[in-house]
């Protein structure tokens, strides 16, 4: 099913039930010209295809990677499905939250409109223990925010890490590069990783490295200095400044050409910066194609492989507890 909303700022949004996905977000630029700023497909069939790169979806049960697809809870080891070389990625290959149909219900209130999605993941789905009842609420507010609120409860101890995997191009989807976008991150540290994408456990300073976005920097300015040929771009978790659990501004992304600016606020400890390195000309909306670097993801999250890293913030959820987190994307146009 498809769900739609508009706001007083001239924004329009579309969501689909497969993957509880943000499929369109139309935003005016500094001249008042509206463009869709997220990558995706024209219909749900595209999202079910093999070319889907998690465009706009809700990612889980565990967003990002878990080493060897294994973790241990209360002395019992669990084996998850492997779908990223030797590791588990984004909830699994067949029944991750991005690949299932959610129940959706639209709503409208005085500050905006949106949709509430619900899905019950059964015990054992993709190897995860326990039934997980998940709710994702999207609200398009009249001040230009896309508020995403997550809740989940379980009947057995399990690990949970949810995020949204929207690919942003503030010049408009179909623009061939986002490397001219200027990014500032509230992150003094990041988590180095091995060749398969698993964090080493180190928390490293960004100062003096290509990972330093503490001052506004074009995404492409130092991308060739990364020295990780298997990635050919950014696909890294940044350790956010501030206290996890408290919602704070963590990122600003600006397209100088259109004047659109996206800010990101979250209560999570980390954000994955991904520059669309693995896009290879997939067909997208309106007959365009998506080459590498044609969008950027800012995925608010717990750290990758937290279930196997006791020094990382915990992602363990037990019966009687409620997983809650929020991400607020806000987009508008500035004279930049």
26 is annotated as an active-site residue: no
R_g (Cα) of the chain, nearest Å: 19
Q: Is 11 a catalytic site residue? A: no
Among residues 11, 159, 165, 189, the one annotated as catalytic is 165
Closest among 162, 192, 166, 198 to 264, alpha carbons compared: 166
Would you please indicate which residues are annotated as catalytic (active-site) residues? 165, 299
């Amino acid at each position: 099913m498809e769900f739609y909303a508009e706001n007083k700022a001239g924004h329009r949004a579309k969501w689909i039930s497969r993957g509880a996905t943000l499929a369109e977000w139309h935003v005016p630029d500094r001249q008042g010209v509206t463009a869709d700023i997220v990558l995706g497909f024209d219909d749900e069939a595209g999202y079910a295809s093999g070319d889907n790169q998690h465009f706009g979806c809700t990612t889980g049960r565990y967003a990002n990677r878990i080493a060897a697809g294994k973790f241990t809870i209360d002395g019992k080891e669990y084996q998850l499905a492997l779908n990223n070389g030797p590791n588990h990625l984004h909830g699994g290959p067949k029944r991750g939250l991005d690949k299932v149909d959610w129940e959706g219900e639209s709503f409208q209130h005085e500050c905006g409109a949106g949709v509430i999605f619900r899905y019950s993941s059964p015990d054992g789905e993709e190897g995860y223990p326990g039934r997980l009842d998940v709710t994702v609420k999207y609200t398009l507010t009249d001040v230009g925010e896309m508020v995403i609120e997550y809740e989940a409860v379980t009947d057995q101890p399990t690990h949970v890490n949810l995020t949204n995997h929207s690919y942003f191009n503030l010049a408009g989807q179909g623009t061939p590069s986002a490397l001219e976008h200027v990014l500032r991150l509230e992150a003094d540290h990041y988590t180095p990783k091995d060749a398969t994408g698993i964090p080493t456990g180190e928390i490293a300073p960004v100062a003096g490295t290509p990972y330093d976005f503490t001052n506004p920097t074009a995404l492409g300015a130092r991308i060739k200095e990364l020295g990780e040929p298997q990635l050919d771009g950014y696909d890294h978790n940044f350790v956010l400044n501030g206290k996890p659990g408290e919602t704070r501004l963590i990122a600003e992304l600006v397209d100088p050409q259109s004047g659109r600016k996206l800010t990101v606020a979250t209560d999570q400890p980390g954000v994955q910066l991904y520059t669309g390195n693995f896009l290879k000309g997939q067909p997208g909306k309106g007959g365009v194609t998506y080459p590498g670097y044609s969008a950027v993801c800012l995925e608010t999250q717990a750290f990758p492989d937290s279930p196997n890293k006791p020094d990382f913030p915990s992602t363990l959820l037990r019966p009687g507890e409620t997983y809650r987190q929020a991400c607020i994307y806000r987009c508008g146009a500035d004279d930049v």
